[in-house]
């Protein structure tokens, strides 16, 4: 039986889980559930009411990192996305957490929410907050990621991991909000993002995301 991801295609956490499934070559269905005004049955999948939630047979899970770590352990025969040893697994989890808890509040919950989501709810964009995120807060995070990446193609070196997918997922949301990385200031991180964005997994997801953006009338 195929697995089901519950959530909206424009959520970076849903995107991260879908990228993980695609990279592992696992079949799944996306059942669209919006982050607000969810149906009552969704609370059974995630009592916190956040997307994504996930079902594999009788197993119900919530939280993108929990879901991706489950997929990693449930399918050891598939490509590993958490590294080869304890040290690599720790760095992947650290960077995944960094993306989810440091980048997300800025890239997604500030830039994307203000520039895209608020308009769909008839609310004004708080451009001051967006500029604060872009000018005062995000540069330190991008400096850190640029240094951590170094000259390697991925955060773990040659091997793709959830660290790459989690960071790129947030940068896609920022780009949906009309902002891209400054390639002159963060050349390595920019090249890393462009490679991931052009990759087969992201290309399976982006056309649908762009159609959704168009449908909700987002200016890009």
Ligand X SMILES: N[C@@H](CCC(=O)N[C@@H](CS)C(=O)NCC(=O)O)C(=O)O
- Give the footprint of ligand X on this chain (CB under 6 A): 11, 13, 35, 49-52, 63-65, 100
Please, which residue, 72 or 190, has the CB nearer to ligand X? Answer: 72
Give the contacts of 143 (CB within 8 A, at least 6 positions apart): 186
Positive or negative: CA dihedral 136, 139, 145, 150? negative
Tokens, residue 101: 């808890």
Q: Are 177 and 116 within 8 A, CB to CB?
A: yes
Give the contacts of 77 (CB within 8 A, at least 6 positions apart): none
Please, which residue, 66 or 84, has the CB nearer to ligand X? Answer: 66
The H or E element that residue 123 is part of is: none
Q: How far is the CB of 18 from ligand X (least distance, A)?
A: 12
Q: How far is the CB of 137 from ligand X (least distance, A)?
A: 18
**Of the candidates 124, 99, 107, which has an alpha carbon nearest to the alpha carbon of residue 10?**
107
- Residues belonging to the chain: 220
Q: How far is the CB of 50 from ligand X (least distance, A)?
A: 3
Please, which residue, 42 or 193, has the CB nearer to ligand X? Answer: 42
Q: How far is the CB of 63 from ligand X (least distance, A)?
A: 4
Please, which residue, 63 or 164, has the CB nearer to ligand X? Answer: 63
162-176 and 200-215 helices, crossing angle to 10°: 30
Q: How far is the CB of 178 from ligand X (least distance, A)?
A: 18
Please, which residue, 45 or 149, has the CB nearer to ligand X? Answer: 45
């Amino acid at each position: 039986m195929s697995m089901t991801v519950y959530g909206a295609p424009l959520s970076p956490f849903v995107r991260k889980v879908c990228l993980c499934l695609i990279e592992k070559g696992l079949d799944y269905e996306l059942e669209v559930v919006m982050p607000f005004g969810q149906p009552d049955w969704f609370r059974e999948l995630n009592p916190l009411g956040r997307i994504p939630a996930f079902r594999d047979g009788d197993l119900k899970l919530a939280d993108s990192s929990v879901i991706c770590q489950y997929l990693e352990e449930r399918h050891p025969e598939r490509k590993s996305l958490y590294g080869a040893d304890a040290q690599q697994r720790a760095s992947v989890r650290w960077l995944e957490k960094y993306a989810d808890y440091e980048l997300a509040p800025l890239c997604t919950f500030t830039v994307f929410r203000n520039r895209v989501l608020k308009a769909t709810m008839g609310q004004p964009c708080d451009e001051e907050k967006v500029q604060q995120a872009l000018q005062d807060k995000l540069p330190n995070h991008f400096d850190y990621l640029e240094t951590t990446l170094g000259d390697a193609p991925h955060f773990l070196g040659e091997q793709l991991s959830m660290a790459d997918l989690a960071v790129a997922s947030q940068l896609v949301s920022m780009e949906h909000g009309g902002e891209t990385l400054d390639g002159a200031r963060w050349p390595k991180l920019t090249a890393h993002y462009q490679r991931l964005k052009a990759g087969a997994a992201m290309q399976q997801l982006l056309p649908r995301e762009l159609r959704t953006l168009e449908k909700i009338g987002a200016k890009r």
